[in-house]
Amino acid sequence: MRIIDVVDPTRIRKIPDKTIILMSSGNFIEQGYKIKDIHLNLYIQKKDPKLGPYSLLTAYVETDKGSIEITYDEGYRGENSLEEAAAFLTSHLGISGLILRSILQLNTLQQSVGSPQ
């Protein structure tokens, strides 16, 4: 099951402008989910001459029970918004929070559609 938890999924119906892999081929297990991959994706929505790019950052988490892409941040965050978000996540306990948020969303959405876990 692939879940897209972005307010307007049409905003990410293209190849990301840039991706940073935070974890791949992982063997990390959290609440019964084996976390395989975590990526941060950058989708540039528009560019303003004064403010620069308007960025939509999403987090993609792939598990053995499904994957989810969720909004991580958006706004006029500058030219290096993806790199700065990745640095923040990896230097603080951000990846753990991202994993827990994703698993909660997967659990909630899978239960609402009646998928077995």
pLDDT band at 4 (very low <50, low <70, confident <90, very high): confident
- Phi first, then psi: what are they for 101, rounded to 5°? -60, -45
Please give the average per-residue pLDDT across 25-48, as a whole number: 91
Whether residue 87 lies inside any domain: the answer is yes
Q: Domain of residue 43: give its range.
A: 2-112
The full DSSP string for 76-112 is E--TTHHHHHHHHHHHTTHHHHHHHHHHHHHHHHHHH
Given a cut of 90, whether residue 7 has pLDDT beyond it is no
Whether residue 100 lies inside any domain: the answer is yes
Whether residue 67 lies inside any domain: the answer is yes
Given a cut of 70, whether residue 42 has pLDDT beyond it is yes
Whether residue 86 lies inside any domain: the answer is yes
| Total domains present in the chain | 1
Over residues 103-113, the pLDDT tens digits come to 988 888 777 77
Over residues 46-96, the pLDDT tens digits come to 999 999 999 999 999 999 988 999 999 999 999 999 999 999 988 877 888
Q: What is the spatial distance between Cα 67 and Cα 99, in angstroms, rounded to a whole number? A: 11
pLDDT on residue 114 = 64
Q: Which is it for strands 2-5 and 66-76: parallel, antiparallel or unpaired?
A: parallel
Residue pair 101/70 in contact (Cβ under 8 Å)? The answer is yes
Whether residue 117 lies inside any domain: the answer is no
Q: Out of 36-40, 57-61, 112-116, pick the least confident.
A: 112-116
Whether residue 42 lies inside any domain: the answer is yes
